[in-house]
Amino acid sequence: MSKAIVLTSPPSATLVPDRPIPPLRPDTIRVRVVSVALNPTDWKSCRRSPAGVSVGCDYAGIVDEVGSAVTRPIRKGDRVCGSTVGCNPLHPEDGAFGEYVVAIADPQIVIPENLSFAEAATLGTGLVTVGQALYQSLKMAPPEDPIATPETVLIYGGSSATGTLAIQYAKLSGYRVLTTCSPHSFALVKGLGADGVWDYRDAGAAEAIREETQDGLTLVLDTISVESSAAFCAKAISSKGGDYPGVYGVRRGL
């Protein structure tokens, strides 16, 4: 038996001291959890999931067992990080907030020696989100084959967990990165590679970005995705249109 955070009376979750150790499936690894990270999806999932499911997505830990169908070079004892589907009614035991987690092996990451468990636990969902947003939705050039002539991308919310990753990947892909955040985070985002930064609360910032890009901005990633951020991005993006993925759905009609 093991301890795990379980959705007991939705949306409330409780530490359960006698949860069965999650069973290994052929395409999964089982990990003894050392660190976990919180995501907005964790509490949002608790609001719409049934009682009895384990909670949490992102983790880092040590491989306890490897499934029979796993072809990745992951071995028992490896330090790994990544994500699983928390609050999963199909596999109620899959949540990361417990002593053990079971996760599909293919997208999990062997932790580099220069990262601690706590640092590595923050990567799973963020990397997937950034990868899908930049390289699937926006169809940007990948880091291994960067764009030859730099184009400009706006990353709204550059100091957020997703935003900090997005800035770095966009720079690795050869893009000119504009971003928004609070003034106290300007140094942070510039240190990550941002070429231009604006205070998202500045009433004229969106128009200034449109002017800076000569009404030619067509690539925008909204890492906050609320009505105010969507409205800001709509004012900054080219009047001729462009591509705008967000990490959450926003009410239509803005």
Rounded to whole angstroms, how far apart are CA atoms 212 and 177?
A: 12
| Cβ atoms 177, 171 nearer than 8 A | yes
Q: What is the pLDDT of residue 254?
A: 52
**DSSP code of 204?**
T
Q: 91 is written with which tokens?
A: 């596999």
**Does the pLDDT at position 253 exceed 60?**
no
Q: What is the pLDDT of residue 92?
A: 95
Q: Are residues 181 and 99 in the same domain?
A: no
| Cβ atoms 57, 84 nearer than 8 A | yes
**Does the pLDDT at position 250 exceed 90?**
no
Q: What does pTM read for this prediction?
A: 0.85
Q: Are residues 76 and 106 in the same domain?
A: yes
Three-class SS of residue 95?
coil
The CATH number of the domain holding residue 91 is: 3.90.180.10
Q: What is the pLDDT of residue 34?
A: 99
Residue 212 lies in a domain: yes
Residue 207 lies in a domain: yes
Residue 249 lies in a domain: no
**Does the pLDDT at position 36 exceed 60?**
yes
Q: What is the 3-state secondary structure (H, E, C) of 146-207?
A: CCCCCCEEEEECCCCHHHHHHHHHHHHCCCEEEEEECHHHHHHHHHHCCCEEEECCCCCHHH
Q: Are residues 148 and 189 in the same domain?
A: yes
Q: Are residues 105 and 191 in the same domain?
A: no
Q: Are residues 31 and 61 in the same domain?
A: yes
Residue 53 lies in a domain: yes
Q: Are residues 89 and 117 in the same domain?
A: yes
Residue 252 lies in a domain: no
Count of structural domains, the chain: 2
Beta-strand runs (E) in the chain: 2-9, 12-19, 28-37, 58-66, 79-83, 100-104, 109-110, 152-156, 176-181, 196-199, 220-222
Q: Are residues 114 and 180 in the same domain?
A: no
How many Cα atoms occupy the beta-carbon half-sphere of 217 within 13 Å? 25
Residue 247 lies in a domain: no
Domain of 69, in residue numbers: 2-123
**Does the pLDDT at position 150 exceed 80?**
yes
Query: pLDDT tens digits for 161-187?
Result: 899 999 999 999 999 999 999 999 999
250 backbone dihedrals φ, ψ, rounded to 5°: -125, 145
Cα torsion angle, 204, 157, 179, 237, sign: negative
Q: Are residues 60 and 114 in the same domain?
A: yes
Query: pLDDT tens digits for 96-149?
Result: 999 999 999 999 999 999 999 999 999 999 999 999 999 999 999 999 999 999
Alpha carbon distance, N-terminus to C-terminus of the chain = 50
30 backbone dihedrals φ, ψ, rounded to 5°: -110, 135
Query: pLDDT tens digits for 186-245?
Result: 999 999 999 999 999 999 999 999 999 999 999 999 999 999 999 999 999 999 999 999
Q: What is the pLDDT of residue 44?
A: 85
Query: pLDDT tens digits for 43-94?
Result: 889 988 999 999 999 999 999 999 999 999 999 999 999 999 999 999 999 9
Q: What is the pLDDT of residue 41?
A: 84
Q: Are residues 102 and 210 in the same domain?
A: no
172 backbone dihedrals φ, ψ, rounded to 5°: -60, -30
Mean pLDDT on 6-25: 95
The CATH number of the domain holding residue 174 is: 3.40.50.720
Q: Are residues 148 and 113 in the same domain?
A: no
| Cβ atoms 218, 241 nearer than 8 A | yes
Q: What is the pLDDT of residue 233?
A: 98
